[in-house]
Structure 1
Amino acid sequence: MPRPVCPRCCRPLGHCLCSLIPSLPSRTRVLILQHPDEVRHALNTARLAALGLQNAELKIGEHFPDLPHWLSDEYRACLLFPGDGAQTLPLSDGEDSRPLLLVVPDGTWRKARKLIYLNPLLAGLPRVSLPVGLPSRYRLRKAPGEVALATIEAIVAALELQEAPARFDTLLRPFEALIDGQIEAMGSETFQRNHQR
Structure 2
Amino acid sequence: MSRPRCERCLRAQDHCLCPLIPHLQSRTRVVVLQHPSERLHALNTARLATLGLVNAELRVGEVFADLDQLLATPGYRPVLLFPGEQAQALVGYAQEGCELPFMLIVPDGTWRKARKLLYLNPLLGELPRVTLGQVLPSRYRLRKAPEAGALSTLEAVVQGLNVLEAPGCFDQLLRPFEALIEGQIRAMGRETFERNHGGR
Which of the five TM-score ranges fits, normalised by the shorter chain? Answer: over 0.9
Pairwise CA distance, 1:144? 1.6
CA deviation digits over 1:91-135, x for unaligned, max 9? 557574211100000000110011011100000000000125420
Instruction: Report deviation, 1:176.
Output: 0.3
CA distance in 2, matches of 1:27, 1:101: 9
8 Å CA contact 1:133–1:146 kept in 2: the answer is: no
User: Which secondary structure state, in structure 2, belongs to the residue aligned with residue 50 of structure 1?
Assistant: helix
Residue 137 of structure 2 corresponds to: 135
**Equivalence for 1:120:** 122
Indicate if the aligned counterparts of 1:35 and 1:107 stay in contact, CA closer than 8 A.
Answer: yes
Runs of 5+ unmatched residues, structure 2:
none
Please give the alpha-carbon distance, in whole angstroms, between the structure 1 residues aligned to 2:190 and 2:113.
32
Mapped to 2, the partners of 1:95 and 1:170 lie a distance apart of: 27
Residue of structure 2 equivalent to 1:66? 66
Are 2:131 and 1:104 equivalent residues in the alignment? no
Counterpart position of 2:79 = 78
When the two structures are superposed, what TM-score results if normalisation uses the length of structure 2? 0.95
Determine which of 175, 178, 184 is the counterpart of 2:177. 175
SS of the residue aligned with 1:59? strand
Indicate the larger mover: 177-186 or 140-149: 140-149
CA–CA separation in structure 1 for the residues paired with 2:75 and 2:186 = 45
1:130-184 CA-partner distances (Å, limit 9, x unpaired) = 1254200111111221121000000000000000000000000000000000100
Report the TM-score, using the length of structure 1 for normalisation: 0.96
Q: What stretches of structure 1 of length at least 5 have no aligned partner?
A: none
**CA RMSD, aligned part only?**
1.3
**Identical columns (%):** 64
Alignment length, in residue pairs?
Answer: 197
Instruction: Tell me the distance in 1 between the aligned counterparts of 2:186 and 2:97.
Output: 51
C-alpha distance in 1 between matches for 2:160 and 2:83: 12
8 Å CA contact 2:141–2:181 kept in 1: the answer is: yes
